[in-house]
Amino acid sequence: LEVGRALRAAQGRLDRDDDADLGIVTGAGRAFSTGSDINQRLLAIADDGVDSRSLPSETGAILRCENYKPLIAAVHGYALGHAFNTAILCDIVVAAEDTRFQVTETTLGVPAAGFWAQIALAAGASFANDVVLTGRFFTAEEAYRAGLIAKVAANGSHLEEATAIARQVLEHPQAALRETVRYRRSVLAERLQHATIVAGNFKWDMTDGFKDAIRAKART
């Protein structure tokens, strides 16, 4: 949860900084990110009755801004669950060859309508059906062929490739580019809002399947 709050704060600083025109989101260490802390986030929902909508959200951090500066995700290792969501919310995604993506919500009994909406918008319904309904790992090459990400980079060069793309973006007048980014994120926000409304009556956090799945996950 602390990382989620820090991400929102960093995005806010980027949005308000007159000297910054673009951001690159990347991860340190062996992975972009393996997603949420299951013990902390999901057990809080199952055992403490916390409303999931009150928890820090990468979606809000990226979609609710004022200046709509482009974001490039430079991904490597694993990008799972909320981390995968963070990556595909960005306007351009570059992934190292070794990257593995997964919609982990499926394995935990959490509805993944928002994931489906985002993936289908970028890569088509068939690919969205495949990776969301199976909850399987999929590679950077698969994501690229489907149109979900912009580029596959050699292992270890994902940040270098993202920086090269950033320089290309920065060569152009930024005001017009930000309008394009604003439109792209507005379309995405509308899709996600529709997914939330349609799936809103399903009390997934009260189901035995969800509680059993996250407790089993916490024990491993």
d(CA 108, CA 99): 22
pLDDT digit string (tens) for 90-123?
999 999 999 999 999 898 888 899 999 999 999 9
d(CA 173, CA 92): 18
d(CA 198, CA 111): 11
Q: Which two tokens stand for residue 126?
A: 């068939």
Whole-number pLDDT of residue 54: 54
pLDDT digit string (tens) for 195-210?
888 876 666 666 777 7
d(CA 100, CA 22): 25
With contact defined as beta carbons under 8 Å apart, do 38 and 82 qualify?
no
Tokens 């951001």, located at residue: 23
Whole-number pLDDT of residue 6: 85
